[in-house]
Structure 1
Amino acid sequence: MRRRGFGKLALPGACVVLILLIALAAPLLPLPDPIRQDVANRLAGPTTGSWLGRDEFGRDVLSRLVWGARTSLSVAFASALAAGLVGITLGLIGGWARSWGAFLTVRSVEIIMCFPPILLALLVVTLLGPGAATLILVLSVLYLPGFARVTYAEVLAVKGRDYVEATRALGARPAHLLFRTVLPNIAGPLLVQFSLAVAAAVVIESGLSFLGLGVVPPAPSWGLMIRGARSTMEQAPLLLLWPCAVLTLTILAMNLLCDALRDILDPRTGER
């Protein structure tokens, strides 16, 4: 039932909100500089001043985890938001105009889906060079077709409803009809699509950073932390545990949040 969906939303929603708050509050927290090196204490274990120890360059692990969350989530949310704005607009136009509009908007961006996402990301990042701006551009292009297809399908499902026809009969302009009448009534699936895009973007950003094609060192990133800890697994295995655990927890919480949002916003789950 719908009440059960709200119960499922509580725990993952609280985890996601907590992660976001910690990432946003990173400049305000009493943490050491995440890029300051202390080679004399490299691979040091947990101490009072460094609760999770220090990495291969003597940088504070806890500080880099918090600032890495800020970097990864900033890239993920920015790319999902850009893809959503463009993809939803294209989907609205394609679904309303049908034949020619769908061909020029939705069907044209579906060409991107012919390429494997990771290979396309590797190609673009290799050509343009690594960096957060390049990652946002690549991820926005990758998730653009998903938003366009979902919006297109939802517009086709609601454009013949009575409230849409009534608004059209009152003389509403197409832009007003799409953005003030149709869009609010299809916001549920789009919100789920946005949460899925953010979760997938975190994974791809970490993977590209691990390969050296994402965030540029010494900027903190979970992928860069995993890459650096791989070479010191025998001397300090905990260095690999912390970024992997945080990344796994974040993706798990986001996926559970997506499932709960789907259960709440899907009208077919109102009754068993």
Structure 2
Amino acid sequence: MKRLWLPGALVALIILAALAAPLFGLPDPVRQDIARRLSGPMPGAWLGRDEFGRDVLSRLIWGARTSLGVAFAAALVAGVAGILLGLIGGWSRGVVAFLSVRSMDVILCFPPVLLALLVVTLLGPGAATLILVLSVLYLPGFARVTYAEVRAVRGRDYVEATRALGASTWYMLLRTVLPNIAGPVLVQLSLTVAAAVVIESGLSFLGLGVVPPSPSWGLMIRGARATMEQAPLLLLWPCAALTLTILAMNLLCDALRDAVDPRTTEAAK
């Protein structure tokens, strides 16, 4: 449990900062002040101003709401759908099991970034489109991990004991099987959220994600790249936020995996 404290505190701090952005009294993240564009850190603009004179600290915190909101929403949708599909496919046999796996293989045939670019180009940029495309991209990962884990535990003694007691199929899946495969699913969740943050930032960097002037870490990197010679610090802040967020999420979910995985718990005893 001690391993949870540091990454857990970092993730909680990042999420709380994003959620509490309206309470900080920060300047409007889209308000421009061309007269002070590319100015360095100063009182009232502690991280400086960007190429349009907008407050960098304000855009960084408000951008976290966008980047993390899209990532968590996409991971949640993909996780719920993928886990249900994996549970059904892993528990069933024959045609149902075959279709649950092969339908995911169809999605995996497409390169993730190219598929995201295609869908966003057809539907237009925006947060809702990003959530949709990221959910589709990461659905196979959840489905395949859940499918494999269900296949591995479906014949265990505790599952057979629950079946012998007359429990329904969904009761066994949700109350017996799912808690015992939570570790790998949590790891998949951590990877999905971290990857979704990166993909969202990358698409926003390319102009196919969040629509300007809404704050986003990808849009901040895009703007800072064009002015990196005049104000190199503008590129540092969003890149540092992305790196810290991804590392913290991966460390947290690795620790959670070890904490909830029954096999790890038994080994520790």
Give the alignment's TM-score, normalised by structure 2: 0.95
CA distance in 2, matches of 1:150, 1:106: 11
2:117 to 92, 113, 122: 122
1:36 and 2:31 matched = yes
1:107 and 2:115 matched = no
- Secondary structure, in 3 states, of the residue corresponding to 1:247? helix
**Alignment length, in residue pairs?**
267
CA distance in 2, matches of 1:172, 1:8: 36
Please, what is the CA RMSD of the aligned residues? 1.5
1:71 to 51, 55, 66: 66
Alpha-carbon offset, residue 115 of structure 1: 1.4
CA distance in 2, matches of 1:203, 1:138: 14
1:222 to 206, 217, 222: 217
Aligned to 1:156: 151
- Secondary structure, in 3 states, of the residue corresponding to 1:176? helix
Comparing 192-201 with 61-70, greater Cα deviation is found at 192-201
Please say if residues 75 and 193 of structure 2, whose CA atoms lie closer than 8 Å, have aligned partners that are also in contact: yes
Aligned to 1:3: none
Alpha-carbon offset, residue 260 of structure 1: 2.5
Comparing 157-166 with 234-243, greater Cα deviation is found at 157-166
CA distance in 2, matches of 1:53, 1:238: 9
Please say if residues 90 and 106 of structure 1, whose CA atoms lie closer than 8 Å, have aligned partners that are also in contact: no
CA distance in 2, matches of 1:75, 1:136: 6
- Secondary structure, in 3 states, of the residue corresponding to 1:105? helix
Comparing 159-168 with 137-146, greater Cα deviation is found at 159-168
1:259 and 2:254 matched = yes
Paired-residue identity, %: 79
1:61 to 56, 64, 77: 56
CA distance in 2, matches of 1:107, 1:86: 16
Please say if residues 125 and 213 of structure 1, whose CA atoms lie closer than 8 Å, have aligned partners that are also in contact: yes
1:86 and 2:77 matched = no
Amino acid across the alignment from 1:92: L
Alpha-carbon offset, residue 7 of structure 1: 3.3
CA distance in 1, matches of 2:7, 2:162: 38
CA distance in 1, matches of 2:3, 2:112: 31
Alpha-carbon offset, residue 271 of structure 1: 4.5
CA displacement, residues 31-72 of structure 1 (integer Å, 9 cap, x when unaligned) = 011111111111111111111111111110000000011100
Q: Which runs of 5+ in 1 are unaligned?
A: 1-5
CA distance in 1, matches of 2:78, 2:72: 10
2:18 to 23, 30, 33: 23
Aligned to 2:47: 52
CA distance in 1, matches of 2:194, 2:161: 38
Aligned to 1:192: 187
Please say if residues 182 and 257 of structure 2, whose CA atoms lie closer than 8 Å, have aligned partners that are also in contact: no
Q: Which runs of 5+ in 2 are unaligned?
A: none
